[in-house]
């Protein structure tokens, strides 16, 4: 046996020893500790505090030691609308199985159900947060995992709501498998780098399901964003890759499935945009690749505003959208559309190579009219507009020639998309 | 004769059409003119009304200032910000006091808040730290 192996075995043997030294402190009305406060006072680093089911009204609880707070049978920590509940400033803290309720709203402080401040290596998992102004609030923290939590807000008005999971100046976070409902933003990232967000469901939030501001090198995948004010907004950021997400049913005047503003160097693939007012709205974005996405039954599949360079759309499915594309005529040379499937395409394929023989022009004349005069939308689906579009298709005069797909597919792609 | 009776009515229409009054922001439904974010925060929202009555709404004071500085030739009938202590009540931006404090985040990352008077701005400054500004010094930032 080599020395190395022996060392490994010794290390393995000593691991259970460590947990033997960790004390178990139980909290319940008939236990040795009646309050979480008293248990925390007597705990030392590495201890486990088991909170038995019951109702605990202890106001704000400061966690300044590296302990595990574990709930058994869903104990309830109630803030009675007065205070923030858990404030964690120690490292290596684990919070699990708690129900946290009723944090009061405040204009001056951003109160939260669970706050992590200047800490690292903490885990918040499988908790239930109900009616907390801000749910889980991380500031100046790194290497934390937030997983399997349910954060249920009661936001009906925007001025009285916080964000479900709010991260500010953080590094290397993992946000996974959470359910966030009825807040201002479901998940909010401001100055957060090198983090991952996956498997979450964000629904019925007033503003955005997920919101990035000034954040770089993050990756989000396999999330669902449903019925939010707008699905996801990515702003003033770099390298935010996104794949296998679902953006659905984001309807409204200022609603988008995905809003991209001043974003660069990003890959957007295998996402599904269904039934949104605008699938993707792009403004001032460069070097973005969109491929293998599905745009289905949106008002506008894609709206591209000024200042967009090097946006490339390839091998996407555009199915049954009222408008496939709305953009400026000058955008054609800087942004490309190639090898996509467009359900509106009515060309032919004489050589049977699967590609249409004539290019598809996604910008219709009516589209341009609506862009200039939004009220003209009322004429959508009228015979007059159909005639207008048809005559324009036969002999294009107004539609920009340079915005076109030279190789439109005859059949939709089979895409690897979550249902 | 008939035309004469119509005249005051047309006059009335003309006058109301040129109203340069500010209007309340529809929170949750309107997008910021500058950054396109949906406006939800009445503590930080701002509004500009041009001399011809066109209303521009913003989700944050920093967005409003950025746009204001972009159009030096445009004149505005109203430059409005929300009072930090009294969200929903517009203040004249040129008369307000401002505080930039890293302890008080604002929607577009400038940590900028407006107060109705210098006293409440300095009071908040002593609690949270930061830098107190007036409209002129804010424009120079």
A403: CB partners within 8 A, 6+ apart:
A325, A327, A329, A331, A332, A337, A361, A362, A363
Taking CB atoms and an 8 Å limit, are A254 and B31 in contact across chains? yes
Domain that holds residue A314: 229-363+400-419
Question: Using the beta-carbon criterion (under 8 Å), do A283 and B30 form an inter-chain contact?
Answer: no
Whether the predicted pLDDT of B48 surpasses 60: yes
Give domain status of residue A412, yes or no: yes
Going by C-beta distance under 8 Å and a sequence separation of 6 or more, which residues neighbour residue B125? Answer: B99, B101, B131, B132
- Give me the mean pLDDT over the B63-76 stretch: 92
Give A392-407 pLDDT, tens digit per residue. Answer: 878 877 777 788 899 9
**Rounded to whole angstroms, how far apart are CA atoms A99 and A150?**
9
The stretch A87-108 carries a mean pLDDT of 91
Tell me the two tokens of residue A22.
């960790």
Q: State yes or no: pLDDT of A124 exceeds 80.
A: yes
Element (H, E) at B120: helix B118-128
Longest CA–CA span in chain B (Å) reads 70
**Cα(A24)–Cα(A44) distance, integer angstroms:** 11
CA distances from A214 to A100, A211, A236, B124 (A): 30, 10, 5, 26
* Cβ–Cβ gap B105/A168 under 8 Å: yes
How far is the C-alpha of B139 from the C-alpha of B141, rounded, in Å?
Answer: 6
Is A17 a domain residue? no
Q: Is B66 on the interface with A (CB under 8 A)?
A: no
- Number of A/B CB contacts below 8 angstroms equals 54
- Domain-embedded: residue A419: yes
Q: Rounded CA gap, A84 and A103, in Å?
A: 6
Testing the interface with A: which of B27, B29, B40, B66 to mutate, by most A Cβ within 10 A? B40
Which band of pLDDT confidence, cut at 50, 70 and 90, is reported for residue A42?
very high
List CB contacts (< 8 A) between A110 and chain B: 105
**What does the pLDDT look like over A272-318, one tens digit per residue?**
999 999 999 999 999 999 999 999 999 999 999 878 899 999 999 99
| Closest alpha carbon within chain B to A110 | B104
More confident residue, A188 or A374: A188
pLDDT for A9 equals 61
Q: Does pLDDT of A1 surpass 60?
A: no
Which residues of chain B from 98 to 127 reach within 8 Å of chain A, CB to CB?
105, 108-109
Enumerate the residues of chain A whose CB falls inside 8 A of the CB of residue B29.
Answer: 252-254
Write the DSSP symbol of residue A381: T
**Locate tokens 């555009």: which residue?**
A318
Other CB atoms within 10 A of residue B22 CB: 17
| Residue-level pLDDT at A19 | 52
| Paired residues of B91 in beta bridges | B81
Mean pLDDT of B15-35: 80
The B residues from 72 to 91 touching A (CB cutoff 8 Å) are 84-85, 87-88
Sign of CA dihedral A200, A204, A209, A213: negative
**Nearest-10 crossing angle of helices A383-394, A365-372:** 120
Q: Give dist(CA A104, CA A249) in Å, integer.
A: 31
Shortest distance between the Cα of A206 and any Cα of chain B, in A, equals: 7
DSSP strands (E only) in A73-200 = 76-78, 86-88, 94-96, 99-101, 112-117, 123-125, 128-130, 134-139, 145-147, 150-152, 165-171, 174-176, 179-181, 185-193, 196-198
| pLDDT at site A7 | 59
Summarize pLDDT for A335-381 with one digit per residue, the tens.
899 999 999 998 999 999 999 999 998 888 888 888 888 888 888 88
Residue B82 has pLDDT above 80, yes or no: yes
Are A174 and A219 a contacting pair, CB within 8 Å? no
User: Total structural domains in chain A?
Assistant: 1
Q: State both tokens at A389.
A: 């579009």
A404, part of any domain: yes
User: Average pLDDT of A194-211?
Assistant: 95
Q: Verify whether the Cβ–Cβ distance A157 to B85 is below 8 Å.
A: no
H or E element in which residue A15 lies: helix A3-21
Considering only CB atoms, which chain A residues are within 8 Å of B31? 254
Query: A227: phi > 0 → left, psi -120 to 50 → alpha, else beta; which?
Result: left
Interchain CB contact of B28 with A (< 8 Å): yes
Q: Identify the residue whose tokens are 């190639």.
A: A338
Q: Check A158 against B105: CB less than 8 A apart.
A: no
A227: CB partners within 8 A, 6+ apart: A203, A204, A248, A249, A250
Q: Is residue A72 one of the residues assigned to a domain?
A: no
Which residues are A261's β-sheet partners?
A235, A283
**SS3 of residue A347 by DSSP:** coil
A142 located within any domain = no
Could you please report the per-residue DSSP string of A188-200?
EEEEEES-EEES-
User: pLDDT grade, residue A154 (50/70/90)?
Assistant: confident
- Mean pLDDT over each residue of chain B, to the nearest integer: 86
Chain A interface test: which of B26, B32, B36, B66 (most A C-beta within 10 Å): B36
Residues paired with A93 in a beta bridge? none
Helices (H), A288-379: 365-372
- Shortest distance, CA A158 to any CA of chain B (angstroms): 5
Q: Do B28 and A229 touch (CB under 8 A)?
A: yes
Q: Are B59 and B33 in contact (CB under 8 A)?
A: no
CB contact under 8 A, B27 and A158: yes
Rounded distance between C-alpha atoms, residue A274 and residue A263, angstroms:
22
Please answer yes or no on whether A168 and B35 come within 8 Å at the CB atom: no
């Amino acid at each position: 046996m080599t020395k190395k192996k022996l060392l490994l075995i010794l290390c393995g043997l000593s691991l259970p020893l460590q947990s033997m030294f960790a004390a178990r402190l139980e909290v319940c009305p008939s236990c040795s500790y009646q309050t979480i406060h008293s248990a925390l006072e007597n705990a030392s680093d590495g201890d486990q505090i088991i909170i038995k089911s019951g109702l605990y009204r202890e106001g704000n609880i400061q966690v300044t030691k590296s302990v595990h707070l574990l709930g058994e049978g869903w104990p309830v920590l109630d803030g009675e609308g007065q205070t923030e509940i858990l404030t964690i400033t120690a490292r290596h803290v684990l919070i699990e199985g708690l129900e946290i309720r009723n944090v009061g709203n405040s204009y001056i402080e951003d109160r939260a159900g669970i706050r992590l401040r200047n800490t690292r290596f903490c885990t918040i998992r499988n908790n239930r947060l109900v009616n907390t102004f801000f749910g889980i609030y991380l500031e100046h923290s790194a290497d934390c995992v937030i997983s399997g939590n349910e954060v249920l807000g009661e936001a009906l008005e925007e001025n009285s709501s916080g964000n479900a999971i709010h991260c500010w100046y953080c590094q290397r976070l993992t946000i996974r498998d959470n359910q966030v409902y009825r807040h201002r933003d479901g998940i909010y990232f401001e100055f957060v780098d090198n983090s991952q967000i996956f498997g979450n469901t964000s629904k019925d939030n007033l503003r955005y399901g997920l919101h990035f501001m000034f954040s770089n090198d993050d990756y989000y995948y396999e999330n669902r964003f449903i019925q939010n004010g707008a699905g996801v907004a990515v702003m003033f950021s770099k390298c935010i890759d996104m794949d296998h997400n679902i953006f659905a049913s984001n309807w409204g005047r200022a609603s988008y499935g995905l809003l991209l503003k001043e974003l660069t160097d990003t890959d957007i693939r295998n996402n599904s945009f269904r039934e949104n007012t605008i699938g993707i709205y792009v403004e001032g974005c460069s070097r973005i690749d969109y491929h293998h996405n599905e745009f289905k039954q949106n008002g506008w599949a894609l709206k591209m505003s000024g200042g967009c360079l090097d946006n490339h759309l390839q091998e996407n499915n555009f199915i049954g959208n009222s408008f496939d594309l709305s953009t400026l005529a000058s955008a054609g040379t800087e942004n490309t559309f190639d090898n996509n499937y467009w359900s509106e395409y009515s060309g032919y394929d004489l050589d049977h190579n699967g590609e249409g023989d004539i290019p598809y022009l996604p910008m219709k004349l009516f589209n341009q009219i609506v862009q200039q005069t939004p009220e003209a939308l009322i004429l959508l689906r009228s015979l007059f507009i159909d005639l207008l579009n048809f005559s324009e298709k036969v002999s294009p005069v107004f539609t920009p020639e340079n915005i076109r797909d030279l190789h439109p597919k005859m059949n939709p792609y089979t895409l690897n998309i979550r249902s | 004769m008939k035309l004469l009776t119509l005249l005051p009515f047309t006059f009335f229409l003309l006058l109301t059409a040129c109203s340069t009054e500010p209007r309340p922001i529809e929170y949750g439904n309107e997008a910021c003119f500058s950054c396109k974010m949906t406006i939800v925060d009445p503590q930080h929202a701002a509004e500009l009304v041009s001399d011809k009555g066109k209303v521009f709404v913003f989700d944050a004071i920093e967005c409003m200032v950025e746009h204001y500085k972009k159009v030096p030739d445009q004149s505005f009938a109203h430059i409005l910000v929300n009072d930090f202590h009294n969200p929903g009540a517009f203040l004249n931006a040129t008369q307000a006091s401002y505080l930039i404090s890293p302890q008080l985040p604002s929607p577009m990352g400038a940590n900028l808040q407006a107060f109705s008077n210098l006293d409440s701005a300095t009071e908040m400054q002593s609690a949270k730290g930061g830098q107190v500004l007036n409209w002129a010094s804010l424009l120079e930032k």
